[in-house]
Structure 1
């Protein structure tokens, strides 16, 4: 089996290869453009974050200039607030539990009364 190409066939294959190569190059350029655009966006976001970090760092420094007495006072107040919040939470849970128990007692008594009424009506019938 012998394969032979005519000159017209070779020209057609060459044109086809050139077209495929051009399409590949165009697609590659489009992809590179999108990638470069995304790189620039990410770089801009990094710059924004860096500016925000620098801004926050400059605003945090004055808070660190507290004296040890002031820091201990703040810690005491925070601990006191935590203790109060715990106490309030415990009291709320206790009250919620007692109210629930009271509601259940009332509900049980109502149901007992209804049962007694039903039994008395059944006896009448």
Structure 2
């Protein structure tokens, strides 16, 4: 997959999101002008492809993203939404709620709907 040669190929066809869930999380993304070149999971794309090419080794911060090519700037624009893996509690959100006076019970029941807090 990493040996794909896209020289001479229109950059508009380098990345095509094939499927995403209802929240925009990329399930499959096509690399290259057609599926025969390569289709990978959104998770693999996020964790591997771009991280290996970046200067600092960072990848996309979330699997919820869109991608487009900007011909004027000759670059790809990744609009990334959220952080992490998309489930559980947002640490930054929890901090914000706590700073606004929410109790730990309020915060936990907000993020984990239907759960019951109890002591043992």
Question: Do the two structures share a fold, i.e. TM-score over 0.5?
Answer: no
Q: Structure 2 length as normaliser, TM-score?
A: 0.20
Q: Structure 1 length as normaliser, TM-score?
A: 0.19
Higher relative strand content: 2
Higher relative helix content: 1
**Larger gyration radius, structure 1 or structure 2:** 1
Query: Which of structures 1 and 2 has the larger relative contact order (alpha carbons within 8 angstroms, sep 6+)?
Result: 2
